[in-house]
Amino acid sequence: MVDNQENLHFRRALRKDLESLIEMLADDELGKLREDYQLPLPSAYEEAFAKIDQDNNQHLTVVTNDRGELIGMLQLTFIPYLTYQGGVRAQVEGVRIKKSHRGQGTGEQMMAWAIEKAKQEGAHVLQLTTDKLRPDAIRFYEKLGFTASHEGMKLHLPQNLKS
């Protein structure tokens, strides 16, 4: 961890943050292939934000520094289910840090926040997936204690992308 860490502030994402969030999601090698960052934003992002914002199990979280600059984001989802005697599973997705703030301990602080939030909400596990094409991310999560305990699988379904 880097010694000169900024103070980070975590809050629920607001509609006014949406443009910055999509810009961060699109600002990497994989994100630029799947996101459509343009202004004005495609309506699909507005619609998705509205659904996420209305769902109490979704915590779309932004991270700001002391200057109020939005420097990171993540989405924490709480999934109630029957196994583990009616347990709650926390899923973290969409972790992004602005390029200018990477390598400064921000990601470690963000994940520490997510772990603590998951504990507060009674989750018995915090899980995530990261693309196999992101070896640095895999090493980062392993360093934090995450293990590749399961084999993940996905089936991409055809869809009509909204514009």
- pLDDT, one tens digit per residue, over 98-155 is 999 989 999 999 999 999 999 999 999 999 999 898 899 999 999 999 999 988 888 9
Q: Which structure tokens are listed for 63?
A: 């991270």
With beta carbons less than 8 A apart as the criterion, state whether 104 and 2 touch.
Answer: yes
With a cut of 50, say whether residue 3 has pLDDT above it: no
- pLDDT, one tens digit per residue, over 10-59 is 999 999 999 999 999 999 888 888 999 999 999 999 999 999 999 999 99
Q: Which structure tokens are listed for 4?
A: 């000169």
Residue 39 DSSP SS3: coil
Rg of the chain on CA atoms, in Å: 16
Planar angle of CA 97, 103, 108, nearest 5 degrees = 70
CB atoms within 10 A of CB 63: 25
What's the whole-model pTM score?
0.88
Q: Which structure tokens are listed for 94?
A: 């969409």
